[in-house]
Structure 1
């Protein structure tokens, strides 16, 4: 990998961290060597506001407690058994209270990937938003559950004949950005970059934004501080949360380069440790006082909020 660099720009976006709900997960499914202890796995979404164009973009939509927000396979396997809980305050309510932006003003939702804890139909909540996925997502997730009832992928999105959602695939242009070979300058002013981040599943994306203070902040699923888990199954096969584990490790390496060499601040999709410790000033500035109050009440006891 050649020496990476970040572009020089004065452009920035305003970023708001949103509560995207939670579920009960098992540590040994995430990291090799961890115990099988259960814990509450939190999820985050981000509101990205572009001051010069007045664009309002959501990054991921997290989870809800409504069974009809998911295909039946997901409802049966996850919603009840894993105690999936949407946030007490919906994403639309959070955005309205904190930024005085109505749900109808959200113009785009970018899904980091199509797993149910990040992605679901949004037409009811954000009726004017167009949903965008990374290349390869549609091919991997079709057919959805309306055409194939055994599918874990939502047919309202991925079934061509019966789908109801307004969505498309990001087409680039894809250029080098930092440690990533394929990235898209979303607003055209180098303030918000979307990177192809393969390995977790086809179409997986991460993002990097420049904040008003000049900091670069990178949002991802993984940080690479522990080895991803691989479990042996009774039938002799193995299981990993990552569709392509070697490629996922390569993506992790690129993220580490962004943090180590380019001083990009990394924020992880499911990490709550920084909230418990309250030492990460970059991320804490993305929260308001009600959010902090709720997290102080809930996180030490592994409760939804």
Structure 2
């Protein structure tokens, strides 16, 4: 009697949390209604180390770089905005957090940025050999070709990323994938850079390694080029890294709405932490469905970049690098 065929192993990734500074959020700029218009809360700016292994090759990805360790190295406009987010801490930064587990920036193959706001970009110049992946529209924000007027948080830095090692994903319209860069070919990384396809309830995803372990998710609303990651960490377990899709879990639960406010220097200007409030609401609705198990994936663990409660639990469970998986 022939032996049964072996069951193919399910491809997975492992995720470790990286401490990458903290900042203080005035609640009235993020949720409405608020009981106290002066309420403020300290939150982390989380980054994540992702390991993917295939054919004895390990690929290390860092998702977001958190807050820059030298706050004075930000542009003058961003430094002015920082005054509204005090207290801000910048240590340990991503480099120090990686070093706590014996990793150096040269060990990181790919850096993916959920978006290019100041509290997610860290110090890219630390990573002299890494490839950078950003969402469509990010490079126009950095170059100044796209300008936003939705609040003092929307300032960006020219020359932030090394363009010879940066890949911008295609837009979500149907089309061909981007050409694989020479840098990727030289490193031997087998990754997919488009086009976008629906997966589960998510309309636009890229199966990055082509094995179902890591999906880049287009998550529009917060900023042009905002991307999230859907990570399969076990046969039946997914973790969704939501970046800045929301800043307060009351938005995910439906208890609060996304806030709007009038600019103090330009009262005619209505501001919002999200560049497109309606798209942000639609993205939150899709994430809520994942978290509640309303899709074929079952309940998905959702982690936003500034979730202080999740971060406390993760620390207690030793989920920070180099702790347990």
Which TM-score bucket, shorter chain as reference? Answer: 0.7 to 0.9
- Could you tell me whether the CA contact under 8 Å between 1:156 and 1:165 is conserved in 2? no
* Distance in structure 2 (CA, Å) of the matches to 1:245 and 1:74: 22
The answer for the alignment partner of 2:79 in structure 1 is 75
The answer for the alignment partner of 2:159 in structure 1 is 156
1:194-226 deviations in Å (ceiling 9; x for gaps): 100000011111111011464100011325223
- Corresponding residue to 1:114 among 105, 113, 116: 116
- Could you tell me whether the CA contact under 8 Å between 2:18 and 2:321 is conserved in 1? no
The answer for the alignment partner of 1:173 in structure 2 is 195
* Distance in structure 2 (CA, Å) of the matches to 1:200 and 1:177: 21
- Corresponding residue to 2:224 among 193, 202, 206: 202
Deviation at 1:119, TM superposition (A): 1.4
Show structure 2 runs of 5+ residues with no match.
Answer: 1-7, 146-153, 171-193
Show structure 1 runs of 5+ residues with no match.
Answer: 1-7, 145-150, 292-305
* Distance in structure 2 (CA, Å) of the matches to 1:57 and 1:231: 36
- Alignment: residue pair count: 268
* Distance in structure 2 (CA, Å) of the matches to 1:107 and 1:69: 25
1:110-164 deviations in Å (ceiling 9; x for gaps): 00001101114412x22111111101222233228xxxxxx92111237xxxx67
The answer for the alignment partner of 2:320 in structure 1 is 287
- Could you tell me whether the CA contact under 8 Å between 2:142 and 2:160 is conserved in 1? no
1:14-70 deviations in Å (ceiling 9; x for gaps): 111011101122011111112331221211000001122311100000002413542
CA shift in 2, pair 1:86/1:79, >3 Å: farther
TM-score under structure 1 length normalisation = 0.79
1:245-278 deviations in Å (ceiling 9; x for gaps): 01100001111111221311111110011344x3
CA shift in 2, pair 1:81/1:230, >3 Å: closer
* More displaced 10-residue stretch of structure 1: 54-63 or 9-18: 9-18
Deviation at 1:177, TM superposition (A): 1.5
Larger radius of gyration: 2
* Distance in structure 2 (CA, Å) of the matches to 1:111 and 1:9: 29
- Corresponding residue to 2:106 among 104, 107, 117: 104
The answer for the alignment partner of 1:191 in structure 2 is 213
**Secondary structure at the counterpart of residue 77 of structure 1:** helix
Deviation at 1:237, TM superposition (A): 3.0
CA shift in 2, pair 1:79/1:191, >3 Å: farther
* Distance in structure 2 (CA, Å) of the matches to 1:202 and 1:164: 18
* Distance in structure 2 (CA, Å) of the matches to 1:152 and 1:232: 18
Structural RMSD (CA) = 2.7
The answer for the alignment partner of 2:88 in structure 1 is 84
- Corresponding residue to 2:259 among 217, 229, 245: 229
